[in-house]
Amino acid sequence: MNKKIFLACFVAFAATFSTSSFAQAVKVKPVKKQTEARPVETTPSDLKTDVIKKPMLIPASGNQGSDWSSPAGELAFPALPYAYDALEPAIDKLTVEIHYDRHHRAYYNNFAKAISGTEFASMPITDIFAKISDMPVSVRNNGGGFYNHVIYWENLSPKGGGEPGGELAEMIKKQFGEYTKFVEKFEDAAKTRFGSGWAWLSVDPKNGELFISSSPNQDNPLMNTSERMGTPILALDVWEHAYYLKYQNKRADYISAFWKIVNWPVVEKRYMQAKSKK
């Protein structure tokens, strides 16, 4: 081969090779297309960026353990009681991370903003909920979003599952029959909640009875807009952001996995507290 031609071929080859490697190195992952039409969730606007790894350490708060009696303006954003991957395989790490660090934190921040400098800042959040029909919609959505997720994270545990014990177990048996009947009824409330919302087990303050309900959006049974008001002792988030990455449209599979991570001792403790306040 002519030396010049060889050199030209070599340069052309090298240029092609280096261009394609470079192209590969900077190749951006294609954005996953949504494969089916589904209801659009309202998500805080700062959720659109990729997940940023942040240290887990968040200052411990005064409201850990569901003490909601302090003024709403003094409530802190509580630390997640376990690592992001601790609930696997029931709930995957990325879902917990985004759900807690983006969604929940945004509700907290927006709630703090909504009540800052208002008379609501000095009221316990439970008193705000009791008058929620008179409150601005930002207080309702973000206050509910903040509170509901604290209840939810606390009633989950990597060591959860099994069945409730103590007086709660007795009351469940008395009101719903076997434990499996209770599970069926709770699952029904969670599955049939249309769109985004929550399923709840609560204590009726008037007679100490347990009842199952569901709520739309970020509403909860403490709000005076509820059909039946009560103190929530078990919460299940059925917004798509709580399960979609792992379960996609299979909400029912997420709901059955939920029972494997329910922190019954916490639910029992809440039951005893709610009962004593009736």
Task: Return residues touching Mn ion (CB under 5 A).
Answer: 237, 239
Instruction: Pick between residue 187 and residue 237 the one whose CB is nearest to Mn ion.
Output: 237
CB 56 to Mn ion: min, Å = 19
| Spacing of C-alpha 63 from chain mean position | 17
Instruction: Pick between residue 205 and residue 244 the one whose CB is nearest to Mn ion.
Output: 244
CB 103 to Mn ion: min, Å = 5
CB 107 to Mn ion: min, Å = 8
CB 99 to Mn ion: min, Å = 6
* 227 neighbors 219 (Cβ within 8 angstroms): no
Q: Where are the beta strands (DSSP E) in the chain?
A: 197-203, 210-216, 231-237
Bond from prior residue into 89 cis (ω within 30 degrees of 0): yes
Q: Which tokens hold the place of 121?
A: 């800042």
Q: Which residue is nearest to Mn ion (CB)?
A: 237
Q: Coil, strand, or helix at residue 25?
A: helix
Instruction: Pick between residue 128 and residue 236 the one whose CB is nearest to Mn ion.
Output: 236
Instruction: Pick between residue 66 and residue 164 the one whose CB is nearest to Mn ion.
Output: 66
Q: Coil, strand, or helix at residue 156?
A: strand
Instruction: Pick between residue 111 and residue 239 the one whose CB is nearest to Mn ion.
Output: 239
CB 145 to Mn ion: min, Å = 7
Alpha helix locations (H) across 74-154?
93-98, 105-115, 125-130, 137-154
Which residue reads 């008037």 in tokens? 206
Task: Please choose, from the candidates 153, 152, 149, 158, the residue with its C-alpha nearest in 3D space to the C-alpha of residue 88.
Answer: 158
